[in-house]
Amino acid sequence: RWDISKEAFYHIPWMPQLTLRSTYGYNGNLSKAITAITTFQYWPTDYANGATNLTSAFISNLGYPELTWEKIGIFNAALDFSLFKNVLSGTFEYYKKNGKDLIGERELAGVIGITRMSGNYAQMSGSGFDFNLTSINIRKNTFKWESSILLSHATDRVTKYEITQNPRTSQGISITPIEGYPVYSIISYKYAGLDAETGDPQGYDRDGNISKDYAGLLYPENWEELNYIGSGRPTWFGGLRNTVSYGSLSLSFNISYKFGYFFQRNTVNYPALFSNYSLHEDYTKRWRKTGDERLTTVPSIDYTSNTSRANFYADSDALIE
């Protein structure tokens, strides 16, 4: 920490405080999901082996002798300041994180008896900043009104994951460990609009052609057949807080915000509608006649209850907000 405003060369009367500080260090985390030694679990006596009538056991965790802490290296640099006799004060803080020895999976030769094993195989990185500015709007006798605005920006990326993931969609609500992508990613099928004659949803096949082969569209062969949208978690967020004080009584209220992210909204599901009367307002927006495809993305009603058709549309980028 360097208190610049206390140096002999510092002469800025309208900024009475200016401080620079920085830290670097590691945080450790230990996963309880895996162990360094092989562990076994016995079946209850009621589940004795049918051939021998003896209690049996199975391997619950294959030992990983090199197991160590997950490590998050954090660099942080911040500037603290106050202006105009402390009427304004604030902090600007930048940070960068690198995670190594994170718990992930790797592929093993089948002759070992298993094809995958968990261990310290994964890595990720992230960076961002936090800005906080506080102003004293009124300070008179025992009455005071102050405001604070907070702005934060954060991004992250998976930088190493040894298992090759099968191409699949992701709604950004669970970890999607794909190298080069955010930890929580939105990945969708490529939507090609509605068929003008039937109102069926359409997508793009692996050759880039418009298709209604839902069985093929649901199981792409490579990631290029899918559409990466962005982060499923906010990349910008913060709030505006006001506090009014009179004597020993104070009242605060806060307005929070978050943006710079995506989510997948729900829609009508015709198989669910016919089986258990599950309704959704998109039902009123469905395609009904030629020309509606220019006004809506909601497919026509499907009396065959084709689940592949419904699943394709539900996970397509037509529903990304």
CA–CA separation, 146 vs 235, rounded Å?
Answer: 27
Closest CA to 233 of 156, 297, 180, 143: 156
**Tens-digit pLDDT profile for the chain (321 aa)?**
999 999 999 999 898 999 999 999 999 988 887 888 888 888 776 666 667 777 778 887 788 888 899 999 999 999 999 998 888 999 999 999 999 999 888 888 878 777 888 888 899 999 999 999 999 998 888 999 999 999 999 999 999 988 877 888 888 888 888 888 999 999 999 999 999 999 999 999 888 899 999 989 999 988 889 999 999 999 999 999 999 999 899 999 999 999 999 999 999 999 988 888 888 999 999 999 999 999 999 999 988 889 999 999 999 999 999
How high is the pLDDT of residue 50?
65
How high is the pLDDT of residue 250?
94
Give the amino acid at 150. L
Whether the Cβ atoms of residue 26 and residue 79 lie closer than 8 Å to each other: no
How high is the pLDDT of residue 265?
93
In sequence order, which residues have a C-beta less than 8 Å from that of residue 78 and are 6 or more positions away? 20, 21, 22, 91, 92, 93, 94
How high is the pLDDT of residue 117?
82
| Degrees to nearest 5, angle at CA 228 with 295 and 169 | 85
How high is the pLDDT of residue 288?
92
Q: What is the DSSP track for 182-241? A: -SSEEEEE-EEEE-TTT--EEEE-TTS-EE--HHHHTS-SSGGGEEEEEESS-SEEEEEE
